Amino acid sequence: MASKRRPNFLIVLIDDLRFDELGICGHPYMKTPNIDRLGHEGAMFSAAFHTTPLCSPNRASILTGQYASRHGIIDNVAGHGSIMNPVLNIDGEERQHQGYITDLLNAHAVEFLRKERDKPFALFFAHKAVHPDAYQAADGTIDFKNGGYLPAPRHADLYKGKHFPRRPNAVPAAEVVKQKPAWKEAHELRVNEVSRKLLDGIQAGSEEEIRLRAAMMASVDEGMADVFKALEETGQLDNTFILFLGDNGYFFGEHGLGPERRFAYEEGIKSPFLVRYPTWFKPGTVKDDLVLAIDIAPTVLDLAGAKVADTKHVQGLSLRPLAKGSKRGKWRTSFMCEYFSENAMPWLIGMSYKAIRTARHKYIHWTQKSLDGVACDELYDLKSDPYEMKNLLGKRGTGPLVARLRKQLATLVAQSVGL
Ligand SMILES: [Ca+2]
């Protein structure tokens, strides 16, 4: 039976997990041996990115393989549930469950994986971790008093006293705006009392914020151990395409930012991206090709045997050409990322952008700030300036490069809307 040979799919997605928040990705103290196992037994993509680094738009991109410009989800929708005793909708039955969200989701995933079936399965396993709880107060402000980050009680004190060394680009706003004029107004509004209350509520940028996120990942990693066990015991492990990623990045003070996510700097758009599928990737494979979250849907469609006609609206690329034994065709050398200003954090209004990243450069066009076309834009040479601290826009000799990147960006923007 041909259908027997088709793989299963398991996509594991962590809310807000940034590119360096796994043991295998170099986190200084977080231990994630079971998640790391995906990379050790499969492939780790060191240049994986989101095209819109924000929860709902990017999840729509993951599911459709399309840019946000094309699928039309450009804002976050609905809420994100509670960490303790959450309301879950299971097969249409919505009710409150008792317990810690990550443990509950792990148990449901394992139950699903162990079910007997005669067809391959596809499980999109999206955790609430490491997102903090937040409640909107009556005056519209976000209240973290009874929320914030919450590890499972058994991990409450995990990593206490550990230190997370900051990246060199964790600099104060006053320094940031010298190189990034688009941020002037937002950084002024960010120190407003209402803004501070929100940021202080999740201990934005503190050692404790980073520690609590790491402690929340402990229950995710325990779940991954159970997932491995379930797949091994049911004989499905090697015939299951497992992919692990985040939905957007995060800032720990880099560029004067915290929970803003959303933005085109490396901390915002880069993702952990691990794939275990022995048919395609040998253990310990490391790849630096530019891969995107919009590549997931076309990869799944490809492996599932979808007809080309069914994939014509998909904008990402199947990862197949990067697999072992594949004839290496042309692969993308740049991509576009885009953000449409919304009001989740009031100081971010007007911060829409379209950006292009190549292996070497990044050009950010602030569509609502650079009203003359370029004034507030940013250009970085990622080779000489990996932390994106020196904006080269307007510097001598960069004119031809800017013209080239802007032309490529225009092409990518047109493609993103299907032109
Ligand atoms: Ca998110």
In the reported structure, the alpha carbon of residue 168 is separated from the centroid of ligand 1 by a whole-number distance in angstroms of 24
In the reported structure, the alpha carbon of residue 326 is separated from the centroid of ligand 1 by a whole-number distance in angstroms of 33
Strand order in the sheet with 43-45: 122-126, 8-14, 240-246, 273-276, 43-45, 285-287
pLDDT at 204: 84
* Percent of the chain predicted with pLDDT > 70: 96
Report whether pLDDT(79) > 60. yes
pLDDT in tens, 86-141: 999 999 999 999 999 999 999 999 999 999 999 999 999 999 999 998 765 555 55
In the reported structure, the alpha carbon of residue 247 is separated from the centroid of ligand 1 by a whole-number distance in angstroms of 5
Residue 301: which residues within 8 A CB-CB, separation 6 or more?
A: 65, 310, 311, 314, 318
Which has the closest alpha carbon to 210: 175, 245, 159?
159
* Cβ pair 206, 147 in contact under 8 A: no
In the reported structure, the alpha carbon of residue 14 is separated from the centroid of ligand 1 by a whole-number distance in angstroms of 8
* Cβ pair 218, 33 in contact under 8 A: no
DSSP bridge pairs for 336: 356
Using DSSP, state whether 1 is helix, strand or coil.
Answer: coil
In the reported structure, the alpha carbon of residue 254 is separated from the centroid of ligand 1 by a whole-number distance in angstroms of 18
Report whether pLDDT(2) > 60. no
Domain coordinates in residue numbering, the chain: 8-332
The alpha-helical segments, DSSP class H, found in 46-132 are 55-64, 68-71, 101-114
Could you say which DSSP state residue 139 is in?
T
pLDDT in tens, 270-304: 999 999 999 999 999 999 999 999 999 999 999 99
Q: Where in 216-317 does DSSP place strands (E)?
A: 240-246, 273-276, 285-287, 291-292
In the reported structure, the alpha carbon of residue 129 is separated from the centroid of ligand 1 by a whole-number distance in angstroms of 9
In the reported structure, the alpha carbon of residue 261 is separated from the centroid of ligand 1 by a whole-number distance in angstroms of 8
Using DSSP, state whether 361 is helix, strand or coil.
Answer: strand
Taking the C-alpha atoms of residue 298 and residue 261, their distance in angstroms, rounded to an integer, is 26
Binning pLDDT at 50, 70 and 90, where does residue 229 land?
A: very high
Mean pLDDT, residues 334-360 taken together = 94
* Cβ pair 369, 376 in contact under 8 A: yes
In the reported structure, the alpha carbon of residue 182 is separated from the centroid of ligand 1 by a whole-number distance in angstroms of 23
In the reported structure, the alpha carbon of residue 329 is separated from the centroid of ligand 1 by a whole-number distance in angstroms of 33
Mean pLDDT across the chain: 93
Q: Which CATH class is domain 8-332?
A: alpha beta
In the reported structure, the alpha carbon of residue 384 is separated from the centroid of ligand 1 by a whole-number distance in angstroms of 30
b/e burial code for range 174-210 (CB count within 10 A of at least 16 → b)? eebbebbbbbeebbeebeeeebeebbebbbbbeeebb
Q: Which helix (H) or strand (E) element contains residue 403?
A: helix 399-416
Six-digit token string for 18: 């940034």
Report whether pLDDT(249) > 70. yes
Report whether pLDDT(199) > 90. no
pLDDT at 142: 62
Beta strands 285-287 and 43-45 are parallel
In the reported structure, the alpha carbon of residue 393 is separated from the centroid of ligand 1 by a whole-number distance in angstroms of 30
Binning pLDDT at 50, 70 and 90, where does residue 166 land?
A: very high
Taking the C-alpha atoms of residue 45 and residue 261, their distance in angstroms, rounded to an integer, is 21
pLDDT at 5: 73
pLDDT at 56: 95
CB neighbour class for 315 (10 Å; exposed up to 12, middle 13-18, buried from 19): buried
In the reported structure, the alpha carbon of residue 249 is separated from the centroid of ligand 1 by a whole-number distance in angstroms of 8
Instruction: Note the pTM of the prediction, 2 decimals.
Output: 0.95
DSSP bridge pairs for 143: 135
* Cβ pair 52, 46 in contact under 8 A: no
Helix%, strand%, coil% for the chain, nearest 5: 35, 20, 45
In the reported structure, the alpha carbon of residue 59 is separated from the centroid of ligand 1 by a whole-number distance in angstroms of 9
In the reported structure, the alpha carbon of residue 180 is separated from the centroid of ligand 1 by a whole-number distance in angstroms of 24
For tokens 């399965």, name the residue: 121
In the reported structure, the alpha carbon of residue 308 is separated from the centroid of ligand 1 by a whole-number distance in angstroms of 31
In the reported structure, the alpha carbon of residue 104 is separated from the centroid of ligand 1 by a whole-number distance in angstroms of 19
In the reported structure, the alpha carbon of residue 58 is separated from the centroid of ligand 1 by a whole-number distance in angstroms of 8
Beta strands 8-14 and 240-246 are parallel
* Cβ pair 45, 277 in contact under 8 A: no
DSSP bridge pairs for 8: 240
Phi-psi region of 399 (alpha: psi -120 to 50; beta: other; left: phi over 0): alpha
Report whether pLDDT(350) > 60. yes
